[in-house]
């Protein structure tokens, strides 16, 4: 039984594999994993169904590769930023930008977030991805803060709280469900809470 998944060597083939990943991940994000079938993915990627299984072990594998390729943008946009020049003095500005960027990326994902994170409980690869990325994000922010002189106790815990706050804010803004809420105000409050966390 030949079950070796082919790793495409020709340029055209690589592009094709990429197209499948993109088509598959898009459809999954848009309609959900269980509401997306391989025929659709193939059609969206403009390939035959057969070729899908030459590049991917199974449907789940497409999701995983999509996650590896696009996940940062959607789930951990902070990882895509270059933080080397970040100066903590422009805290307000930086945070505002970060939030804006996160919202922009988040919007692309549509229903991806919940369903894919739900798979953490089923799929160990998905779980590992999120675990590793969360660790990476935390470390990154922690280091940024330390570099800027915030070497205090409970830094890790605070960082986790911050991430949650921002995530929550973005989520709220994106889904825009509650019409009575003033999202600018909410953003300001959030930023101030974060700043207060580090006031001495």
CB 174 within 8 A of CB 103: yes
For residue 26, state whether it binds DNA (rule: CB under 7 A).
no
Using CB distances below 5 to 8 A depending on partner kind, what does residue 117 bind out of a second copy, DNA, none?
a second copy
* 8's tokens: 């495409």
Question: Which of 47, 159, 166, 173 is in the footprint of DNA by CB under 7 A?
Answer: 47
CB 19 within 8 A of CB 66: no
* 143's tokens: 């280091």
Stretch that binds DNA, among 30-38, 84-92, 175-183, 186-194 (CB under 7 A): 30-38
* 115's tokens: 């369903």
Using CB distances below 5 to 8 A depending on partner kind, what does residue 160 bind out of a second copy, DNA, none?
a second copy
Terminal CA-to-CA distance of the chain, rounded, Å? Answer: 65
CB 145 within 8 A of CB 155: yes
Kindly report the CA angle at 18 between 61 and 65, in degrees rounded to 5? 25
Instruction: Kindly state the smallest distance separating residue 33's Cβ from a second copy, in Å.
Output: 8
For residue 31, state whether it binds DNA (rule: CB under 7 A).
no
Categorise residue 154: left if φ over 0, alpha if ψ from -120 to 50, beta otherwise: left
Alpha helices, H only, 56-90: 59-75
* Segment 62 to 91, residues that bind DNA, using CB under 7 A: none
For residue 136, state whether it binds a second copy (rule: CB under 8 A).
no
Residue ranges binding DNA (CB under 7 A): 1-3, 6, 8-10, 12-13, 16, 36-39, 47-54, 58-60
Binding residues for a second copy (CB under 8 A): 1-2, 31-35, 37, 39-40, 43, 110-111, 113-115, 117-118, 120-122, 131, 134-135, 138, 154, 156-158, 160-161, 164-165, 167-169, 172, 177-178, 180-182, 185-186, 189-190, 193, 196-197
């Amino acid at each position: 039984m030949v079950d070796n998944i082919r790793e495409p060597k020709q340029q055209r083939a690589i592009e094709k594999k990429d197209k499948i990943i993109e088509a598959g991940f898009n459809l999954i994000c848009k309609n959900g994993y269980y509401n997306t079938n391989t025929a659709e993915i193939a059609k969206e990627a403009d390939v035959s169904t057969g070729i899908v299984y030459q590049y991917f072990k199974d449907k789940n594998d497409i999701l995983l590769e999509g996650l590896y390729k696009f996940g940062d943008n959607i789930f951990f946009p902070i990882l895509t930023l270059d933080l080397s020049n970040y100066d903590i003095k422009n805290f307000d500005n930086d945070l505002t930008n970060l939030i804006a960027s996160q919202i922009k990326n988040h919007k692309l994902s549509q229903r991806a977030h919940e369903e894919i994170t739900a798979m953490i409980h089923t799929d160990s690869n998905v779980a590992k991805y999120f675990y590793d990325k969360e660790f990476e994000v935390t470390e990154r922010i922690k280091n940024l803060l330390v570099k800027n002189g915030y070497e205090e106790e409970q830094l890790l815990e605070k960082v986790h709280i911050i991430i949650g706050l921002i995530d929550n804010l973005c989520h709220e803004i994106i889904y825009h469900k509650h019409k009575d809420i003033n999202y600018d105000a909410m953003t300001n409050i959030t930023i101030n809470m974060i700043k207060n966390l580090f006031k001495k």
